[in-house]
Amino acid sequence: MFRLFKRKPSADPPAEAAAGAASPSLVQTQPAQPAQPQQPPQAAAAAPAASPGAAPLEPGEPGSAAPGAPAGWFGRLRQGLRKTGAGLSGLFGGARIDEALFEELETALILADAGSAATAQVLQELRRKVRAARAETPHQVRELLREVLTELLSPLQKPLDIGRTSPTVIMMVGVNGAGKTTSIGKLTRHLQAAGCKVLLAAGDTFRAAAREQLAAWGERNGVQVIAQQGGDPAAVAFDAVQAGRARGMDVVIVDTAGRLPTQAHLMEELKKVKRVMGKAMEGAPHEAILVIDATNGQNALAQLRAFDDTLGLSGIILTKLDGSAKGGVIAAIARERPVPIYFIGVGESLEDLQVFDAQAFARALVDG
Ligand SMILES: Nc1nc2c(ncn2[C@@H]2O[C@H](COP(=O)(O)OP(=O)(O)OP(=O)(O)O)[C@@H](O)[C@H]2O)c(=O)[nH]1
Ligand SMILES: [Mg+2]
Q: pLDDT digits over 33-75, tens only? A: 433 333 333 322 233 223 322 222 222 333 333 444 445 778 8
Average pLDDT taken over every residue of the chain: 82
Pairing mode of beta strands 353-355, 341-345: antiparallel
CB atoms within 10 A of CB 85: 10
Query: Distance (Å, rounded) from C-alpha 329 to C-alpha 269?
Result: 28
* Nearest residue by C-alpha to atom 30 in ligand 1: 320
Helix (H, G, I), strand (E, B) or coil at 136: coil
Helix (H, G, I), strand (E, B) or coil at 79: helix
Q: What's residue 231's pLDDT?
A: 81
Q: Which residues contact 214 (CB under 8 A, 6 or more apart)?
A: 181, 184, 185, 200, 202, 204, 225, 227, 255
* Residue 204 beta carbon below 6 angstroms from any ligand 1 atom: yes
pLDDT exceeding 90 applies to what percent of the chain? 67
Answer yes or no: is pLDDT of 92 > 50: yes
Amino acid letter for position 304: L
Answer yes or no: is pLDDT of 14 > 90: no
Choose the residue to mutate in 182, 190, 263 for probing ligand 1, maximizing ligand atoms within 8 Å of C-beta: 182
Minimum-distance ligand 1 atom for the alpha carbon of 258: 25
Query: Distance (Å, rounded) from C-alpha 221 to C-alpha 253?
Result: 13
Which pLDDT band holds residue 350 (cuts at 50, 70, 90)?
confident
* Residue 319 beta carbon below 6 angstroms from any ligand 1 atom: yes
* Residue 176 beta carbon below 6 angstroms from any ligand 1 atom: yes
Minimum-distance ligand 1 atom for the alpha carbon of 174: 19
Query: Distance (Å, rounded) from C-alpha 70 to C-alpha 332?
Result: 28
Answer yes or no: is pLDDT of 230 > 90: no
Minimum-distance ligand 1 atom for the alpha carbon of 204: 23
Tell me phi and psi for residue 152, to 5 degrees: -65, -40
* Residue 348 beta carbon below 6 angstroms from any ligand 1 atom: yes
Choose the residue to mutate in 318, 348, 351 for probing ligand 1, maximizing ligand atoms within 8 Å of C-beta: 348
* Nearest residue by C-alpha to atom 26 in ligand 1: 179
Pairing mode of beta strands 2-4, 160-162: parallel
Which pLDDT band holds residue 325 (cuts at 50, 70, 90)?
confident
* Residue 354 beta carbon below 6 angstroms from any ligand 1 atom: no
Answer yes or no: is pLDDT of 1 > 70: no
Q: What's residue 197's pLDDT?
A: 97
pLDDT, tens digit, 9 for 90 and up, residues 104-147: 999 999 999 999 999 999 999 999 999 999 999 999 999 999 99
Q: Residue 347 Cα, ligand 1 centroid: separation in angstroms?
A: 9
The one-character DSSP state at 179 is S
Pairing mode of beta strands 251-256, 198-203: parallel
* Residue 256 beta carbon below 6 angstroms from any ligand 1 atom: no
Q: What's residue 121's pLDDT?
A: 97
Gyration radius of the chain over CA positions: 21
Mean pLDDT (whole number) for 238-248: 97
* Residue 345 beta carbon below 6 angstroms from any ligand 1 atom: yes
Of the ranges 45-54, 115-124, 332-341, 359-368, which one carries the lowest mean pLDDT score?
A: 45-54
* Nearest residue by C-alpha to atom 7 in ligand 1: 179
CB of 263 within 8 A of CB of 179?
A: no
Q: Residue 245 Cα, ligand 2 centroid: separation in angstroms?
A: 24
Q: What's residue 6's pLDDT?
A: 57
CB of 317 within 8 A of CB of 343?
A: yes
**Nearest ligand to residue 176 Cα:** 1
The Cα angle at residue 341 between residues 199 and 177, in degrees rounded to 5:
65
CB of 29 within 8 A of CB of 2?
A: yes
Mean pLDDT (whole number) for 259-267: 96
